[in-house]
């Protein structure tokens, strides 16, 4: 199929080149010249035969590229490096690396690079104990890098250091190697038994689907009371970038690198100018979790106790390679979501939050319609799920729809399309 596409491209190139050559010759000849008349006749005859093909070139090429994408193998065989960000937590980097090395299928399939920003010798010592199992790189620490920080951000200067660190480390990964992918983690993350299977099996989707720009191992609404433990292999598309253990392709970095922000890189990635309507894959049950080391960090642990520590990480070992994940492709997932919403029973919030609520049937689906930001926030608070927005997108949302599992019931929060724009960045 790739040969056919190449032939079509070559044909179109030569057609236009040939046409340009004849037109050029014609321009230099006298209009009464007999050769000029012959060339003109040849051009007219050729155009009548070739124009239908040339005019249809975009559709033909799109169709051919679609065939090429369909032929992309689902088993990803190229190495996928794991890039680990560290700073000043020796115990965290030790525990994180032990887990990565224990669970990875092989060093060649998932090479590990630790990137350290802070000048903490104990962190460096811990990493070096792993020898050739990991690559270690050290940057000039952000605090010593003479970064210009506006006065209003003096108390949040660490976010400038982090954004700079991400750019340096990602540039290292892609500039010094031929890798086509990277998995990004931080030293305070735990990983599930099927962490590597999850990422290697979803990698082909990034190649096949231009509407994806990441795969995340994190579910922002992944607390035990909001997940279906029986749906441990279920994955979703989401407009929200979750991070906290995520994967992207080289081409994505090549797009982002020239305009990488000097601060708050994760929120920057959620902005419309970067997202461009693209989505991420995320799991029903997180494949990363927050270790106790997350208490100590840039945010001073303010999100740890109330939220991060409560996200439930999977303890299953799903072999994702054996699953057909094509249901996550755009049209397939849209159709699936449409069917789920059609099957869902419309209810009011007071119904499901009642102490007497019980699903009428097994695997019951219900939906609640929200009419605006304040309405959504009120519903989310009553359910106990995340109620904040980033660039107008609720966490985990797909086309404005947020789904969770509540009281043994699959619940969808659905925007009233007549009142809610997808998405309003002012939210």
Cβ–Cβ under 8 Å, residues 166 and 117: no
- Alpha-carbon distance of 108 to 316, in angstroms, equals 24
Would you tell me how many other CB atoms lie within 10 Å of the CB of residue 370? 22
Closest by CA to 187, choosing from 273, 283, 120, is 120
Q: How far is CA 370 from CA 54, 226, 254, 340, 408, in A?
A: 49, 19, 38, 17, 21
3-state secondary structure 181-192: EEEEEECCEEEC
Closest by CA to 344, choosing from 361, 326, 319, 327, is 361
Would you tell me how many other CB atoms lie within 10 Å of the CB of residue 185? 25
Q: Residue written as tokens 């990488």?
A: 260
- Alpha-carbon distance of 301 to 295, in angstroms, equals 4
Cβ–Cβ under 8 Å, residues 192 and 313: yes
Among 119, 228, 266, 267, the one annotated catalytic? 266
Whether 266 is catalytic is yes
Dig out the tokens for 62 from the structure: 């799109």
- Whats the size of the chain, residue-wise? 427
**Over the Cα atoms of the chain, what is R_g?**
26
- Alpha-carbon distance of 269 to 324, in angstroms, equals 29
Instruction: Catalogue the active-site residues.
Output: 266
């Amino acid at each position: 199929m790739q040969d056919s596409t190449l032939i079509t491209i070559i044909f179109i190139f030569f057609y236009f080149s040939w046409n340009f050559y004849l037109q050029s010759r014609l321009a230099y000849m006298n209009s009464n010249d007999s050769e000029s008349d012959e060339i003109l006749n040849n051009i007219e005859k050729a155009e009548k035969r070739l124009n239908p093909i040339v005019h249809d070139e975009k559709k033909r090429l799109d169709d051919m590229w679609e065939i090429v994408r369909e032929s992309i193998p689902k088993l990803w065989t190229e190495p996928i490096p794991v890039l680990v960000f560290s700073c000043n937590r020796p115990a965290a980097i030790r525990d994180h690396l032990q887990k990565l090395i224990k669970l990875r299928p092989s060093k060649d399939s998932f090479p590990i690079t630790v990137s350290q920003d802070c000048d903490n010798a104990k962190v460096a010592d811990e990493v070096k104990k792993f020898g050739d199992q990991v690559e270690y790189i050290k940057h000039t620490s952000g605090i010593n890098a003479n970064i210009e920080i506006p006065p209003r951000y003096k108390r949040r200067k660490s976010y400038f250091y982090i954004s700079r660190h991400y750019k340096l480390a990602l540039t290292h990964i892609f500039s010094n190697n031929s890798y086509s992918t990277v998995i990004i983690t931080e030293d305070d993350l735990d990983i599930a038994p099927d962490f590597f299977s999850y990422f290697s099996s979803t990698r082909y989707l990034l190649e096949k689907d231009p509407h994806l720009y990441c795969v995340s191992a994190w579910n922002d609404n992944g607390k035990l009371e909001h997940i279906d433990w029986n749906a441990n292999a279920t994955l979703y598309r989401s407009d929200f970038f979750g991070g906290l253990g995520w994967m992207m392709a080289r081409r994505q970095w090549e797009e982002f690198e020239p305009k990488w922000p000097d601060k708050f890189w994760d929120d920057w990635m959620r902005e419309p100018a970067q997202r461009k309507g693209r989505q991420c894959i995320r799991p029903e049950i997180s494949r990363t979790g927050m270790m106790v080391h997350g208490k100590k960090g840039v945010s001073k642990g303010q999100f740890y106790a109330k939220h991060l520590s409560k996200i439930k990480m999977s303890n299953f070992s799903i072999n994702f390679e054996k699953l057909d994940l094509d249901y996550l492709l755009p049209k397939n997932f849209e159709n699936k979501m449409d069917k789920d919403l059609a099957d869902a029973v419309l209810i009011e919030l007071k119904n499901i939050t009642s102490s007497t609520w019980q699903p009428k049937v097994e695997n019951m689906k219900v939906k609640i319609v929200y009419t605006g930001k304040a309405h959504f926030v009120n519903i989310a608070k009553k359910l106990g799920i995340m109620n904040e927005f980033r660039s107008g997108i609720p966490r985990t949302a797909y086309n404005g729809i947020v789904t969770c599992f509540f009281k043994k019931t699959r619940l969808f929060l659905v925007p009233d399309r007549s009142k809610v724009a997808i998405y309003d960045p002012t939210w």
